[in-house]
Chains A and B, each alone.
Chain A
């Protein structure tokens, strides 16, 4: 299967810290690629290089065949992004904000339907600064999907969500995959990985510790055991 996202020998340094130390991974087209790893493993940095927010010091990054650092608006219309930091203006209201983001696209998704699906209509008139962490996550996820993207990067999309909220998000992400989108999801949740992954990447210390289908990576073991073995060995 062709790769929608291809990261090869990515190196990214911050002062004395090397966040990505020659790591490589890819996301097959139409997959839900789950990227697992401890804090500081290079998950967020590699995703931020893939969405054009950071410039690699070395290596190559391609999303839909395009270098994201130099990508034009036509490419960015094909890519949805949910940042770990949210990125929602504090003084805005969710529905107004989603309609605003939708106006950047020629044929956006139905804002009302998406808001209803994620339960956003229940707090549509509340300013972002007054929302709970889980409510902000729902708005940020909707903003990432509003343009009906071909590739979606979600950095810890279920952090702060209650169990019902997580199930809602899992269903939505599976529907996005069924639509044909490629999803890249970073997470610390084994449940999320087990429920969603069609492709699995494990990072540790800025390097790729394992990559493949869940069967390739996990075999007959449990995901938890494999993860701890891979990431413990990788720790300096």
Chain B
């Protein structure tokens, strides 16, 4: 065997490549993830079509009861909470599970983006999708007569951020524990359970006592309650915010220990 003609002796060492600035890397990843989430048909259905259908259904029929007050003012905050769960939990868990399956997480971890940049990109992309959801659902709600209490909008943004943190952390926790197909099944199942039993759209005040008690410790009900209090009454619900923050902290701590970057 002969050695191929040596190139290195003649070649000067290449100049030191530099990474793009951190903000540019993270924003690029956020744009890429945002486009991927919106381009995925299944995710689009869960993130936008189903919440929109839920809002129209709630306004077309008198059941389930949403409690006392204008129905539209109680329906829209619940559907906005459902949007957060769809984008931050279901869509992120499934996308992350399959990204790990196809070694996307590993490859991006070797680039200047790194693991931290990847997580920040996912978080920003999720918030981007939520903004689109809120614009669409809010716009349809306004057309149907929704009149949010203006002072409550600030509280609502606080709950949007806290809810996003809690549910993205739960998504990463789930995506780190199961194989991609398992994540797909469980994330969709939990979405349905949050919707039906989790106090998201149907307020806990209209649920049987036992069910309301259980729902009271769930992040789904905390998000729904917090947004209803903010947007329908203009009031701040500290207990709901604490529940969300505790879920976020616990899920983040566990996901930090259990998350696997590769299958």
Check A197 against B11 for contact (C-beta < 8 Å).
Answer: no
**Residues of A within 8 Å of B, CB-based: how many?**
56
Q: Is B108 an interface residue (CB 8 A)?
A: yes
Q: State which of B3, B22, B39, B111 has its C-beta within 8 Å of the C-beta of A101.
A: B111
Distance between Cα atoms of A229 and B1 in the complex (Å): 16
Q: Which of A177-206 contact B (CB under 8 A)?
A: 177-181, 193-198
Shortest Cβ distance from A19 into chain B, in angstroms? 14
> Which of B1, B2, B4, B28 lies in contact with A104, CB distance below 8 A?
B28
Residues of A within 8 A of B12 (CB): 180
Which of B9, B39, B110 contacts A76, CB < 8 Å?
B110
In the assembled complex, which residues on chain A have CB atoms less than 8 Å from the CB atom of B22?
73
When C-beta atoms are compared, the residue in chain B nearest to A221 turns out to be B1
Q: Could you say which of B14, B24, B98, B103 contacts A87, with CB atoms under 8 Å apart?
A: B103
Q: How far is the CA of A148 from the CA of B113 in the complex (A)?
A: 16
Within 8 A of A (CB), among B32-89: 32, 36, 39-40
**Interfacial chain A residues near B238, Cβ < 8 Å:** none
Inter-chain CA distance A100–B33, complex, in Å, is 11
A32 at the binding interface (Cβ < 8 Å): yes
Contacts of A140 in B (CB 8 A): 107
Q: Does B17 contact A (CB under 8 A)?
A: yes
- A179-B11, A215-B3 known; A150-B28 Cβ under 8 A: no
- Which secondary structure dominates where chain B touches chain A? loop
B208 at interface by CB-CB < 8 Å: no
Q: Which of A5-13, A89-97, A117-125, A158-166 contacts B (4 or more CB under 8 A)?
A: A89-97
Rounded to whole Å, the gap between the CB of A139 and the closest CB of chain B is: 11
Q: A78-B16, A147-B17, A150-B17 are in contact. Are A73 and B112 (CB under 8 A)?
A: yes
With both chains docked as a complex, state the minimum distance between the C-beta of A198 and any C-beta of chain B, in angstroms: 6
* B interface residues, how many (CB within 8 angstroms): 44
Tell me which residues across on chain B come within 8 A of A83, comparing CB atoms.
Answer: 103, 106-107, 110
Say if the beta carbon of A31 comes within 8 Å of chain B. yes
Whether A39 is near chain B, meaning CB under 8 Å from some CB there, is: no
Contact A87–B102 (Cβ < 8 Å): yes
A53 within 8 Å of B by Cβ? yes
Are the CB atoms of A222 and B1 closer together than 8 Å? yes
Contact A105 B17 (CB under 8 A): yes
Minimum distance in angstroms from B139 CB to a CB of chain A:
28
List residues 198-219 of chain A with CB under 8 A from any CB of chain B.
198, 213-215, 218
- Interface flags for A70-81 (1: CB within 8 Å of B; 0: not) read 000110111101
- A106 near B108 with CB under 8 A, answer no
Q: Which residues of B contact A106 (CB under 8 A)?
A: 17-20
Chain B interfacial positions (CB closer than 8 Å to A): 1-4, 6-14, 16-20, 22, 24-25, 28-29, 32, 36, 39-40, 98-99, 102-104, 106-114, 117, 261-262
**A interface with B by C-beta (< 8 Å):** 1, 28-32, 51-53, 73-74, 76-79, 81, 83, 85-92, 100-101, 103-107, 140, 143, 147-150, 174, 177-181, 193-198, 213-215, 218, 222-223
